[in-house]
Structures are given as C-alpha cells and as structure tokens.
Amino acid sequence: MLRTPTGGAGNGTAGSVGRLVSIGTVLNLLRDEFPEVTISKIRFLEAEGLVEPRRTPSGYRKFSPDDVERLARILRLQRDHYLPLKVIREQLDAIDRGEQVRIPAPSPQGDPVVSAAEAGAVRATVARVGRAELLAAAEVDEAQLAEWESYGLIAETPGGGFDAEAVTVARLVADLGRYGLEPRHLRAMKAAADREAGLVEQVVAPLRRHRNPQTRAHAEATVRELAGLSVRLHEALVRTALGVRLH
C-alpha cells in the first residue's frame, strides 16, 4: 500500500496546498513499493508531461497527494503491464476525462477486456516478453537494444524472449543514457552484478539442493532478500563514494 501525505484533497484544490511535498519526500513515499525509482525518473516523467507538480517562486517542485498517486499508477503500469509511456498517457487522459479504463491483468489467466489504446500495445506476461514488447517498454529502437546486447547488459533467455527483469534493466539503461552514460560505461556495473549474483548463489545453493520442498522454497525467498540487501548496499556505497568526492 502506497504511503501518501495525509488527507485526500485533489490536485489543484485549495485543501491540498498545505500537504504539498518535495521531490525527495515523494521518492521516500514511492520507494517502499518501487525500490528502483529515482529522482531522475520522476523528473523524466514530469518532462514527458505525465505529472505536473507545482513550482515555488524559487523553482522547487511541490507534489500533491494526487501527484504521488498518479506517479504510483504510472510506475505500476510500467512494472506490471509493460505499457509504453504513450499508452500510459492515453490511459491517464481518459481517467482525467472521467472515463473507465481497464487494463490487462498481470496474470496470463483469463481474457480481460482491454481499451482501444491497450489493443495497440503488444500484450505480455510477467514471466517473459518478446523483443517488440521490450522495445516498446523501454521506448528505444532496435539499434540501441542490439548495442546493449553486444555489451552483455541484456540477453534473451535460453527459451527465447526476455524475462521481466530485462525490462527493468532496459528502462534503467535508457534513463542513464539520457545523462550521457553509454553501454560501454555500464560494463563495470554488469560485472559487479554478476559477482554479487555469484555470492548469493553460494549462500542458497545448499538450500536449493535440499530434499524438503519447504527448504527449497525458503531458498527462493532468501534469494529475493539477499538481492534486495545487495541493491541497498550498492546504493549506499555509491552515495558514500559520491559524498566523499563531492565534498
């Protein structure tokens, strides 16, 4: 459940003015559900016209509770349904007009009703997406994806297609590219991630080989926990290193 500033006044109402928060606070509110979100991601979504925070006379962004909920909706549509920003914008516009919008369920079960905008987007499951879906989700072209593959940043699964994490990687690589970081600059990050994955595998390998199904299930939970801790440690180390270098 997303934690939002207290109160429920809508965007643009006088009642919400007293509950406006900074972009840093928005980041903290979103990170419980979206650990990978960054300030640059929020700014990018603003630049794309998907959210319009107020500005103080000094130029600082101030977000209402509705803005925070809108950002959470956008991030869920990207994470769970792999929808490109163009489709997400169409859905948000429809919601703003008071129209009902239904989206595909993240599970492949059933045959949900979809809007006309969604019909134009290639459907994907959480387990695996095709090349076209990945290109649409990351909003890049084939040449960019091929370059990422050449540097080992993204790879198809043995059975073909890309897993859900590849979508996240693609979006992050694309975001970093907007700041001038090219795939060749990111090889060190990929190498570090491979080493961290090796350490996690050493920890859980004995659990995965166990005969008890519950123990094997615990191995998967342990993988997720260790992965989360590893990401948090990496972020803290980068922030510490930058703090030392910039001060």
The pair of structure tokens assigned to 111 is: 């045959």
- The 3-state DSSP class for residue 108 equals coil
Place of tokens 């595909």: 104
DSSP state of 132: H
String of b and e for 89-122 (b: at least 16 CB within 10 Å)?
Answer: bbbbeeeeeeeeeebbeeeeeeeeebbebbeebb
Rounded Cα–Cα distance for residues 11 and 67 (Å): 7
State the number of CA atoms in the 13 A half-sphere of 29 facing the CB. 24
What parts of the chain have a pLDDT lower than 70?
Answer: 1-18, 102-127, 246-247
AA letter at 102 = R
AA letter at 161 = G
pLDDT of residue 217: 76
pLDDT of residue 247: 60
Answer for the pair 78, 137: CB distance below 8 angstroms, yes or no. yes
Rounded Cα–Cα distance for residues 152 and 145 (Å): 11
143 CA to centre of own chain: 22
pLDDT of residue 79: 81
Which helix (H) or strand (E) segment holds residue 55: the answer is strand 54-55
The pair of structure tokens assigned to 40 is: 């640059």
* Long-range residue pairs from 41-46, CB within 8 A, at least 24 positions apart, any chain: 41/175, 42/71, 44/175, 44/178, 45/71, 45/74
- The 3-state DSSP class for residue 121 equals coil
AA letter at 17 = V
- The 3-state DSSP class for residue 160 equals coil
Cite the DSSP H helix spans in the chain: 23-31, 39-47, 65-81, 85-96, 116-119, 131-138, 142-150, 164-177, 187-208, 213-246
pLDDT of residue 21: 93
Tell if the pTM clears 0.85, that is, is over it.
no
Place of tokens 């939002």: 4
Residue whose C-alpha is closest to residue 171's, from 27, 33, 40, 15:
40
pLDDT of residue 125: 36
